Amino acid sequence: MASFNILLLPGDGIGPEVMTEVEKVLGFLQQAGVARFETERDLVGGAAHDAHGVAITDAAMERAKAADAVLFGAVGGPKWDKVAYEVRPEAGLLRLRKDLGLFANIRPAICYPALADASSLKREVVEGLDIVIVRELTGGVYFGEPKEIVTLESGQKRAVDTQVYTTGEIDRIARVAFDLARTRRSKVSSAEKMNVMRTGVLWREVVTAVGKDYPGVELEHVLADNCAMQLVRWPKQYDVLVTDNLFGDILSDIAAMLTGSLGMLPSASLGAEDAKTGKRKALYEPVHGSAPDIAGQGLANPIAMIGSVGMALRYSFGLGEAADMLDKAIANVLASGLRTRDIAAKGANTVSTSQMGDAIVGELKALA
Residue 364 binds ligand IPM (CB under 6 A) = no
3-state secondary structure 260-274: CCHHHCEEEEECCCC
Catalytic annotation on 238? no
Residue 244 binds Mg ion (CB under 5 A) = no
Catalytic annotation on 142? yes
Residue 249 binds Mg ion (CB under 5 A) = yes
Residue 90 binds ligand IPM (CB under 6 A) = yes
Residue 136 binds ligand IPM (CB under 6 A) = no
Count, residues near Mg ion per rule CB under 5 A: 1
User: Rounded CA gap, 356 and 337, in Å?
Assistant: 11
Residue 88: DSSP 8-state: S
Helices 353-367 & 320-335 angle (0-180, nearest 10): 120
Pick from Mg ion, ligand IPM, none: which does 99 bind, CB < 5 to 8 A by kind?
none
User: In the complex, what is the shortest distance from the CB of residue 177 to ligand IPM, in angstroms, rounded to a whole number?
Assistant: 18
Whose CB is nearest to ligand IPM? 90
Report the candidate in 184, 365, 262 with the shortest Cα–Cα distance to residue 14: 262
Sheet of 282-286: strand order equals 36-41, 3-11, 69-74, 282-286, 266-270, 104-110, 130-136, 240-243, 187-192, 218-223
Residues facing 270 on adjacent strands: 104, 282
Binding mask 209-248 for ligand IPM (x = CB under 6 A): ----------------------------------------
Q: Which one of the listed residues 50, 99, 130, 225 is annotated catalytic?
A: 225
Residue from 64, 67, 70, 93 touching ligand IPM (CB under 6 A): that is 93
CA atoms within 13 A on the CB side of 284: 28
Catalytic annotation on 79? no
Catalytic annotation on 117? no
User: Rounded CA gap, 268 and 304, in Å?
Assistant: 11
Nearer to Mg ion, 271 or 286 (CB): 286
Q: Which residues bind ligand IPM (CB under 6 A)?
A: 90, 93, 249
**Enzyme catalytic residues:** 142, 193, 225, 249, 253
